[in-house]
Amino acid sequence: MKFIDEFRDGDTARRIGAQIAAEVQPGRRYHFMEFCGGHTHAISRYGVGDLLPDGVKMIHGPGCPVCVLPIGRVDLAIQLALERGVTLATYGDVLRVPASNGLSLLKAKARGGKVAMVYSAADALALARQDPAREVVFFAIGFETTTPPTALVIRQAAAEGLANFSVVCNHVLTPAAIGNILESPEVRKLGTVPLDGFIGPAHVSTIIGSQPYEHFAEEYGKPVVIAGFEPLDVMQAILMLVRQVNEGRAEVENEFTRAVNRDGNLKAQALCAEVFELRKSFEWRGLGEVPYSALAIRGEFAAFDAEKKFALDTRKVADNKACECGAILRGLKHPRDCKIFGTVCTPENPVGSCMVSSEGACAAHYSYGRYKEIPIRAAA
């Protein structure tokens, strides 16, 4: 597969790994946060950690939209499916998120709720078109990468005058989350979470461009390198971050030049601005209330806003007391620091959202990384 296989080449990986090892300063530790869930997954799945020298540590950030979805929002979706008789359409990742009363959308489906898994927002719209008697609600999640498709289907639904289609909008914004992490006392003042730089998200950046990250580099003095999605991209970005730290620079660099430029996709940005507006505040699981961090559907499209159409009220629901997802999402703790990791909380029985999504730090560590902590004896 072109533009994929070449970016996964093992020999090149070893060489870049050796270069990183050659350039890290002896005795110095480097802590980089990969913001994007896709990067978390790539690092785990390909075992990128094995090719890095000991002094370089990766911290998993909150860039997994499933992981940061508050329980109260999932409850809305379940309520719509079970009590309001709608067909609730959403992406596969959302179906297993554990919500209130021991339910998830998958469990709601087993109880008779109409829940449809779709691969694309367009599929949800198609469901509504196919059957005008069926009320379809699309539960939309995602960062800036996934927002434009939702904007498109809302605009299309408006153009077609579809009366049986609406959207619950949970779209969130990357720069707001990065800012929230950098503002947290542990990072800013206490220094208990050393953070030397960020690997910027790949595909979010194709939409928003590299410009929004410049603020963080300037204001907080942290370098940002936007990296492509493949493991070689991640390694190259780590090399570039090490260099910035060594040279005392805090700039925004772009490793993913084949798809990202400074301005981003203006057409997509304009489309989103037409359909969405900023919410004053939005609750993120693990981060709490974050100002101007999420989108709501504009008044002109109110007919397609499920929250208005069905008069929905989001309840604040606290996480399970033993669940450490909050701290893990902010990079303060590692999955193994959570008392219920791997015992009560497993991919089969996820207690918190970090374990549900395969990009969540806990699921990634459980599925790919646990061996690292347990020495294995070779063949007898």
| Residues of span 217-276 touching another protein by CB under 8 A | 228-229, 231-233, 236, 239-240, 243, 255-260, 265, 267-268, 271
Contact track, another protein, 158-177, x by CB under 8 A: --------------------
Rounded CA-CA distance 313/85 in Å is: 17
Q: Is 204 in the site for another protein (CB under 8 A)?
A: yes
Burial group, residue 322, by CB count within 10 angstroms (0-12, 13-18, 19+): middle
Give me the residues paired with residue 87 across strands: 114, 136
Distance, first Cα to last Cα, the chain: 39
Q: Is 1 in the site for another protein (CB under 8 A)?
A: yes
Least distance in angstroms from the C-beta of 377 to another protein? 5
Least distance in angstroms from the C-beta of 143 to another protein? 5
3-state helix, strand, coil in the chain (%, to 5): 45, 15, 35
Q: Which is nearer to another protein, 229 or 282 (CB)?
A: 229
Least distance in angstroms from the C-beta of 24 to another protein? 14
Q: Is 206 in the site for another protein (CB under 8 A)?
A: yes
For the chain, give the longest Cα–Cα distance.
70
Q: Is 115 in the site for another protein (CB under 8 A)?
A: no
Q: Is 133 in the site for another protein (CB under 8 A)?
A: no
Q: Is 141 in the site for another protein (CB under 8 A)?
A: yes
In the window 332-371, what residues touch another protein (CB under 8 A)? 346-348, 357-359, 366-371
Q: Which is nearer to another protein, 283 or 359 (CB)?
A: 359
The DSSP-derived string for 156-178 is HHHHHT-SSEEEEEEEB-HHHHH
Rounded CA-CA distance 153/159 in Å is: 10
Neighbouring CB atoms inside 10 A of 46's CB total 19
Q: Which is nearer to another protein, 65 or 179 (CB)?
A: 65
Rounded CA-CA distance 120/117 in Å is: 9
Q: Parallel, antiparallel, or unpaired: how do β-strands 87-90 and 136-142 relate?
A: parallel
Q: Is 310 in the site for another protein (CB under 8 A)?
A: no
In the window 14-43, what residues touch another protein (CB under 8 A)? 14-19, 22, 36-39
| Among candidate residues 257, 264, 172, 165, the one with its CA nearest the CA of residue 213 | 264
Among 152, 158, 303, 327, binds another protein (CB under 8 A): 152
Rounded CA-CA distance 29/25 in Å is: 8
Q: Which is nearer to another protein, 204 or 290 (CB)?
A: 204
Rounded CA-CA distance 293/279 in Å is: 7
Q: How many residues bind another protein (CB under 8 A)?
A: 99
Q: Where are the beta strands (DSSP E) in the chain?
A: 30-36, 56-63, 87-90, 114-117, 136-142, 165-171, 197-200, 224-226, 252-254, 276-278, 281-284, 288-291, 295-297
Among 53, 122, 129, 298, binds another protein (CB under 8 A): 122
Q: Is 117 in the site for another protein (CB under 8 A)?
A: yes
Among 56, 115, 121, 351, binds another protein (CB under 8 A): 121
Q: Is 379 in the site for another protein (CB under 8 A)?
A: yes
Least distance in angstroms from the C-beta of 201 to another protein? 6
Contact track, another protein, 61-100, x by CB under 8 A: --xxxx------------------------xxx-xx----
Q: Kindly give, in sequence order, each residue whose CB lies less than 8 Å from that of residue 241, ignoring residues fewer than 6 positions away.
A: 30, 32, 196, 197, 199, 223, 225
Q: Is 197 in the site for another protein (CB under 8 A)?
A: no
CA 130 and chain centroid, separation: 31
Q: Which is nearer to another protein, 17 or 70 (CB)?
A: 17
Q: Which is nearer to another protein, 2 or 321 (CB)?
A: 2
Q: Which residues of 87-101 are buried (b: 16+ CB within 10 A; e: fewer)?
A: bbbbbebbbbbbbee
Q: Is 321 in the site for another protein (CB under 8 A)?
A: no
